[in-house]
Amino acid sequence: MALIVQKFGGSSVGDAQKIKHVANRVIETQRAGNQVVVVVSAMGDTTDELIDLAQSVAENPYNSPREMDMLLTSGERISMALLALAINAAGASSRSFTGSQAGIMTSAKHGDARISEVTPTRIREALDDGDIAIVAGFQGFNKDSKDVTTLGRGGSDTTAVALAAALNADLCEIYSDVDGVYTCDPRVVSSAKKLDSIDVESMLELAAAGAKILHIRAVEYARRHGVDLRVRSTFSTDPGTIVYSNLKDGAQMEEPVVSGVATDKSQAQITVIGIPDVPGKAAEIFTAVAKAGANIDMIVQNTPTGSDVTDRVSDISFTLPKADLQRVANALEAAKESLGYRELELDDSIGKLSVVGAGMRTHSGVSATLFGALAKAGINIEMISTSEIRISVVTSLAQLDEAARAVHTAFELDSDVEAVVYAGTGR
Amino acid sequence: MALIVQKFGGSSVGDAQKIKHVANRVIETQRAGNQVVVVVSAMGDTTDELIDLAQSVAENPYNSPREMDMLLTSGERISMALLALAINAAGASSRSFTGSQAGIMTSAKHGDARISEVTPTRIREALDDGDIAIVAGFQGFNKDSKDVTTLGRGGSDTTAVALAAALNADLCEIYSDVDGVYTCDPRVVSSAKKLDSIDVESMLELAAAGAKILHIRAVEYARRHGVDLRVRSTFSTDPGTIVYSNLKDGAQMEEPVVSGVATDKSQAQITVIGIPDVPGKAAEIFTAVAKAGANIDMIVQNTPTGSDVTDRVSDISFTLPKADLQRVANALEAAKESLGYRELELDDSIGKLSVVGAGMRTHSGVSATLFGALAKAGINIEMISTSEIRISVVTSLAQLDEAARAVHTAFELDSDVEAVVYAGTGR
């Protein structure tokens, strides 16, 4: 008997009809001879409605993060109880559990807590009794204060993976309205192909590079704890995409050179021009940026130029989320004198394209193919960064989609059939 | 420094504006130098909306009572978090607690659990920190199973009284849209007067006799634990009505002969005609009624009549909630042969009028005044029952309001001004 964790996102439980559909799907999984743990998000727009309510009673509700978590966790409480009611009404037996009842312990940071420990005693008991266990995603509790916490974006995916790890589950299925992991976002490249499988490291790079299908925290958790994931659609029987963390007994998986192409339109770029070429200047700049609370992605520094040694200056470019652009620029402007640079250049119309594949480790020529395809399509590259299994380039935002199509074709990822367009997943 | 528990019902926190109003009221109480614990119900129609949702996913959601409790408790979770947000935004400091966090332990019966123990450790801590503690009404948890429970009708009032008892509070204020306890329902008797005070036993009889202002369980809890209540309106500064459980140091309260008149239109009557006059028949009948799950209120048995001893028969009439009428009648019909009665008479258009007053203990003539007033108004009495401080009569439903007005006048309860009409309170 296998133990399967199934996670259903907000759009999968968006109304009564969908909840009944999910109930049947869960019951089928149990009747096929499995123990089933279900993780659910809040129904459809519930979270937004609760945030609206909070803003109607308090100007800055996030000033009371403990209370915001108390409020928002009611969303999953509703969806999990409804799913349990639907499952019980359909003739199976289920019990629902809050994050706290499920033993999801977290750090203290309200709104963005990290899972520190999972002790799913009550889940085990429910499974041993033959029940389906339903668990609220996105939430846990702080062991010290006993306060309710939420996990931030991607939290429900992370709950599912953490439970799968703690229960030593055979599989963790992430259901949404997308039927798997594609070689590229089908909205950008209509010839994108669904992958039958992908290794967890490539998935991690894809998620980091902007693919929205799985949240990076959940993938990282799966990689670290060796949990196999299956990404599939709530509304089809397609087997979806397996994300392997474990290579089964000797069955060496053939790693494709390139698994997929990811695009990211959420980034902006700052170039700091004319930085005196003295040791420690880069560190000073990035300390100022970190203090402004921004997550930096790519960094490029050019070779210093200048007539003589005392005179030499260099430029540093880096990318960061668009939402952080102005704040970081202000922080750098404020420190202009002490940092000693000449000027700032801001660009909020950049795009990032990444090519990801575990096979890059052993295959050469990937960058040649990439740069060749971009050159042939007449696309200018502004920045480049690489990891062991990823190459990312920054282009202009206007050219990003065209670049993705050119690169997708160059790596022979194109499918014969047009892909179903998918939307992003919620929490 | 006094410790005050304040309970706000669903209509008091029905929307953002009202929540902000309540927040200010609570803050004022704290700034006047008190420690404040606030108990809230779910916002306005939230509970009904959640029940609708449950019925849209399961035909008989109450077949999963544990899950219904999980679902319904999200209502208070939302209102208490919003109130905490509003209080914090208005410049005071508050923390919200679920029933379980507040230490409200209950029996196991989902949907109608009884409070068994209250250990408000975290509430004490919050108060000691100078915070306002906000507690979800209507809910607790089963100590053995750790499952969430709800307290049934009147649950939030009971939560407030139980917390006041456990915290040894100086006062428990029950806020609603009614500004106190009246000598009669102002919708029935427009000259009804608000009482400044009433003893808890009379309040208990009034609640039992159909007055909706306070739930009988909460009043009973207050009586048993010696908690003084103040019933007042969220939307006025009227001091409301004090319900005394404690007579302060020697200050003997002058007990009015009659405190108020209550009417109840929710009852029906069954008369079992022609019951053989042999020992144990009444017991058999009420065993059958109890098995059908009905709560019986008044019972009257007439003197047996008949030509000789073996032939004598009697009739038994009793009142019960209208909702139980058909079920109990069916049960009695099914047992007709073994019970041996001749026929059943059902009447669902009766009304019950009760006159309540602690002074009845020491004053005679109350029943004479009551029956005289009813006779003068031409109202027929079908049943009579009495307690130490209450006389109840059953009349026809059509004559009930007229009866109430006649009796209210006869006991000189009429006010010179017309009362504000009030509605019933929720949970």
pLDDT in tens, B138-193: 999 999 999 999 998 779 999 999 999 999 999 999 998 888 999 998 888 999 99
**Residue B54: closest CA among chain A residues belongs to which residue?**
A82
Sign of CA dihedral A151, A155, A158, A159: positive
pLDDT at A419: 53
pLDDT of A325 higher than 60: yes
Given a contact cutoff of 8 angstroms between Cβ atoms, the answer to whether A403 and A265 are in contact is: no
Residue B68 to residue A85, Cβ atoms within 8 A = yes
pLDDT of A105 higher than 50: yes
Residue A53 to residue B78, Cβ atoms within 8 A = yes
pLDDT at A364: 74
Q: CATH number of the domain at A145, please.
A: 3.40.1160.10
Strand-pair partners of A72: none
Give the tens place of pLDDT for each residue, A233-289: 999 999 999 999 886 544 455 667 888 999 999 999 999 999 888 878 888 888 888
Query: How far apart are alpha carbons B205 and B194 in whole angstroms?
Result: 17
Sheet containing strand B267-276, strands side by side: B299-301, B313-321, B267-276, B343-347
Confidence of residue B32 (pLDDT cuts 50, 70, 90): very high
| Residue at B99 is within a domain | yes
| Residue at B28 is within a domain | yes
| Residue at A13 is within a domain | yes
**Residue B52: closest CA among chain A residues belongs to which residue?**
A16
**Residue A93: closest CA among chain B residues belongs to which residue?**
B64
B-interface mutation test, from A67, A76, A83, A93, most B Cβ less than 10 A away? A67
A192, A229, B159, B174, B308 from B139: Cα distances, Å: 52, 38, 8, 17, 58
Query: How far apart are alpha carbons B125 and A294 in whole angstroms?
Result: 37
Closest CA to B20 of B92, B101, B72, B73: B92
B94/chain A closest Cα distance in angstroms: 9
From first CA to last CA, the distance across chain B in angstroms is: 30
Given a contact cutoff of 8 angstroms between Cβ atoms, the answer to whether A172 and A8 are in contact is: no
Query: How far apart are alpha carbons A188 and B143 in whole angstroms?
Result: 55
| Residue at A251 is within a domain | no
pLDDT at A102: 97
pLDDT at B102: 97
**Residue A60: closest CA among chain B residues belongs to which residue?**
B89
pLDDT at B359: 79
Q: Are residue B162 and residue B284 in the same domain, yes or no?
A: no
Q: Assign B2 to helix, strand or coil.
A: coil
pLDDT of A423 higher than 70: no
Using CB atoms, pick whichever of A57, A85, A88 lies closest to residue B82.
Answer: A57
Other C-beta atoms closer than 10 Å to the C-beta of B102 total 29
Given a contact cutoff of 8 angstroms between Cβ atoms, the answer to whether B405 and B253 are in contact is: no
Query: How far apart are alpha carbons B101 and A83 in whole angstroms?
Result: 25
Choose the weakest-confidence range: A121-125, A188-192, B18-22, B311-315: B311-315
Q: What are phi and psi of B84, to 5 degrees?
A: -65, -45
Confidence of residue A97 (pLDDT cuts 50, 70, 90): very high
CB pairs A-B closer than 8 Å: 114
Q: CATH number of the domain at B286, please.
A: 3.30.70.260
B21 chain-A contacts, CB cut-off 8 A: none
B82/chain A closest Cα distance in angstroms: 6
Query: How far apart are alpha carbons A330 and A350 in whole angstroms?
Result: 20
Confidence of residue A355 (pLDDT cuts 50, 70, 90): very high
Using CB atoms, pick whichever of B50, B54, B82 lies closest to residue A71.
Answer: B82
Q: How many percent of chain B have pLDDT more than 70?
A: 94
Q: Are residue A85 and residue A127 in the same domain, yes or no?
A: yes
The DSSP element (H or E) to which A23 belongs, if any, is helix A16-31
- Residues B197-234 as b/e (b if ≥16 CB within 10 A, e otherwise) read bbbbbbbbbbbbbbbbbbbbbbbbbbbeeebbbbbbbb
Residue B81 to residue A58, Cβ atoms within 8 A = no
Range among A117-121, A190-194, B183-187, B250-254 with highest mean pLDDT value: A117-121
**In sequence order, what are the residues at sequence separation of 6 or more whose Cβ sits closer than 8 angstroms to the Cβ of residue A246?**
A226, A228
Given a contact cutoff of 8 angstroms between Cβ atoms, the answer to whether B257 and B360 are in contact is: yes
Confidence of residue B55 (pLDDT cuts 50, 70, 90): very high
pLDDT at B81: 97
Structure tokens of B202?
């009379």
**In sequence order, what are the residues at sequence separation of 6 or more whose Cβ sits closer than 8 angstroms to the Cβ of residue B73?**
A77, B98, B99, B136, B138, B139, B148, B150
**Position of tokens 């279900």?**
A38
Q: Are residue A287 and residue A399 in the same domain, yes or no?
A: no
Spell out where B214-282 has E strands. Answer: 229-233, 241-244, 260-264, 267-276
**Residue B64: closest CA among chain A residues belongs to which residue?**
A85
Q: Are residue A278 and residue A136 in the same domain, yes or no?
A: no
Given a contact cutoff of 8 angstroms between Cβ atoms, the answer to whether A427 and A215 are in contact is: no
Range among A85-89, A218-222, B141-145 with highest mean pLDDT value: A85-89
Spell out where B28-74 has E strands. Answer: 35-40
* Residues comprising chain B, all counted: 427
Closest CA to A191 of A374, A353, A409, A376: A409
Give the amino acid at B381. I
Using CB atoms, pick whichever of A16, A70, A81 lies closest to residue B70.
Answer: A81
| Residue at A157 is within a domain | yes
**Residue A87: closest CA among chain B residues belongs to which residue?**
B58
| Residue at A310 is within a domain | yes
Confidence of residue B419 (pLDDT cuts 50, 70, 90): low
Q: Are residue A275 and residue A362 in the same domain, yes or no?
A: no
| Residue at B411 is within a domain | no
Q: What is the mean pLDDT of the segment spanning A171-187?
A: 91
> Could you tell me which residues of chain B have a Cβ less than 8 Å from any Cβ in chain A?
16, 19-20, 23, 50, 53-54, 56-61, 63-64, 66-68, 70-71, 73-74, 77-78, 80-86, 88-89, 95-96, 101, 122, 146
Q: Are residue B163 and residue B27 in the same domain, yes or no?
A: yes
Residue A82 to residue B53, Cβ atoms within 8 A = yes
Strand-pair partners of B194: B182
pLDDT at A133: 98
DSSP string, A34-47: EEEEEEE---TTHH
Mean model confidence pLDDT for chain B: 89
Query: How far apart are alpha carbons B318 and B409 in whole angstroms?
Result: 29
Final residue in a domain of this structure, among B157, B176, B195: B176
Given a contact cutoff of 8 angstroms between Cβ atoms, the answer to whether B163 and B118 are in contact is: yes
| Residue at A218 is within a domain | no
**In sequence order, what are the residues at sequence separation of 6 or more whose Cβ sits closer than 8 angstroms to the Cβ of residue B317?**
B269, B270, B271, B272, B299, B300, B301, B382, B383
Final residue in a domain of this structure, among B128, B160, B176: B176
A216/chain B closest Cα distance in angstroms: 30
Query: How far apart are alpha carbons A385 and A393 in whole angstroms?
Result: 6
**Position of tokens 């402007």?**
A333
Residue B85 to residue A68, Cβ atoms within 8 A = yes
Query: How far apart are alpha carbons A385 and A208 in whole angstroms?
Result: 13
Using CB atoms, pick whichever of B20, B61, B77 lies closest to residue A74.
Answer: B77
Q: Are residue A363 and residue A396 in the same domain, yes or no?
A: yes
Confidence of residue A180 (pLDDT cuts 50, 70, 90): very high
Confidence of residue A123 (pLDDT cuts 50, 70, 90): very high
Residue B20 to residue A88, Cβ atoms within 8 A = no
Give the tens place of pLDDT for each residue, A5-14: 999 999 999 9
pLDDT at B425: 39
Q: What is the mean pLDDT of the segment spanning A60-88?
A: 96
User: Could you give the ipTM of this predicted complex?
Assistant: 0.79
Q: Are residue A302 and residue A387 in the same domain, yes or no?
A: no
Q: What is the mean pLDDT of the segment spanning A322-344?
A: 92
pLDDT of B421 higher than 80: no
A-interface mutation test, from B70, B79, B123, most A Cβ less than 10 A away? B70
**Residue B136: closest CA among chain A residues belongs to which residue?**
A70
Give the amino acid at A313. V
Given a contact cutoff of 8 angstroms between Cβ atoms, the answer to whether A355 and A265 are in contact is: no
Q: How many percent of chain A have pLDDT more than 90?
A: 66
Q: Are residue B53 and residue B155 in the same domain, yes or no?
A: yes
Given a contact cutoff of 8 angstroms between Cβ atoms, the answer to whether A36 and A132 are in contact is: yes
**Residue A65: closest CA among chain B residues belongs to which residue?**
B85
Given a contact cutoff of 8 angstroms between Cβ atoms, the answer to whether A36 and A94 are in contact is: no
A326/chain B closest Cα distance in angstroms: 27
Given a contact cutoff of 8 angstroms between Cβ atoms, the answer to whether B161 and B118 are in contact is: no
Query: How far apart are alpha carbons B136 and B155 in whole angstroms?
Result: 10
**Residue A79: closest CA among chain B residues belongs to which residue?**
B71
Give the tens place of pLDDT for each residue, B235-254: 999 999 999 988 654 445 56
Other C-beta atoms closer than 10 Å to the C-beta of B176 total 27
Structure tokens of A304?
């210093």
Q: What is the mean pLDDT of the segment spanning B80-104?
A: 97
pLDDT of A30 higher than 90: yes
Query: How far apart are alpha carbons A238 and A254 in whole angstroms?
Result: 22
pLDDT of B347 higher than 90: yes
B-interface mutation test, from A25, A45, A64, most B Cβ less than 10 A away? A64
Q: Are residue A309 and residue A360 in the same domain, yes or no?
A: no
Query: How far apart are alpha carbons B151 and B216 in whole angstroms?
Result: 13
Q: CATH number of the domain at A361, please.
A: 3.30.2130.10
Other C-beta atoms closer than 10 Å to the C-beta of A232 total 22
Query: How far apart are alpha carbons B290 and B278 in whole angstroms?
Result: 20
**CA A357 to the chain's CA centroid:** 17
Q: Which residue has the higher pLDDT, B296 or B89?
A: B89
Confidence of residue A307 (pLDDT cuts 50, 70, 90): low
pLDDT of A91 higher than 70: yes
The model's pTM is 0.82
Structure tokens of B252?
């003997």
Query: How far apart are alpha carbons A121 and A314 in whole angstroms?
Result: 58
Closest CA to B167 of B104, B219, B230, B106: B104
**In sequence order, what are the residues at sequence separation of 6 or more whose Cβ sits closer than 8 angstroms to the Cβ of residue A107?**
A113, A114, A116, A142, A149
Closest CA to B174 of B239, B267, B220: B239
pLDDT of A209 higher than 50: yes
Given a contact cutoff of 8 angstroms between Cβ atoms, the answer to whether A171 and A29 are in contact is: no
**Residue A59: closest CA among chain B residues belongs to which residue?**
B89
pLDDT of A155 higher than 80: yes
pLDDT at A187: 87
Give the tens place of pLDDT for each residue, B57-88: 999 999 999 999 999 999 999 999 999 999 99
Query: How far apart are alpha carbons B101 and A100 in whole angstroms?
Result: 12
Residue A74 to residue B84, Cβ atoms within 8 A = no
> Could you tell me which residues of chain A have a Cβ less than 8 Å from any Cβ in chain B?
16, 19-20, 23, 50, 53-54, 56-61, 63-64, 66-68, 70-71, 73-74, 77-78, 80-86, 88-89, 95-96, 101, 122, 146
A23 chain-B contacts, CB cut-off 8 A: 57
Given a contact cutoff of 8 angstroms between Cβ atoms, the answer to whether A39 and A104 are in contact is: no
Domain count for chain B: 2
pLDDT at B297: 82
**In sequence order, what are the residues at sequence separation of 6 or more whose Cβ sits closer than 8 angstroms to the Cβ of residue A254?**
none
Using CB atoms, pick whichever of B54, B81, B146 lies closest to residue A82.
Answer: B54
Give the amino acid at B111. G
Using CB atoms, pick whichever of B50, B57, B96 lies closest to residue A89.
Answer: B57
pLDDT at A359: 79
Q: What is the mean pLDDT of the segment spanning B290-309?
A: 77
Domain limits for position B151? 3-176
Final residue in a domain of this structure, among A176, A209, A232: A176
pLDDT at B249: 45
B210/chain A closest Cα distance in angstroms: 34
Q: Are residue A53 and residue A110 in the same domain, yes or no?
A: yes
A12 chain-B contacts, CB cut-off 8 A: none
Max distance between CA atoms of chain A, in angstroms, equals 82
- Residues A128-155 as b/e (b if ≥16 CB within 10 A, e otherwise) read eeebbbbbbbbbbbbeeeebbbbbbebb
pLDDT at B426: 41
Q: What are phi and psi of A104, to 5 degrees?
A: -85, 95
Q: Are residue A403 and residue A312 in the same domain, yes or no?
A: no
Residue A85 to residue B67, Cβ atoms within 8 A = yes
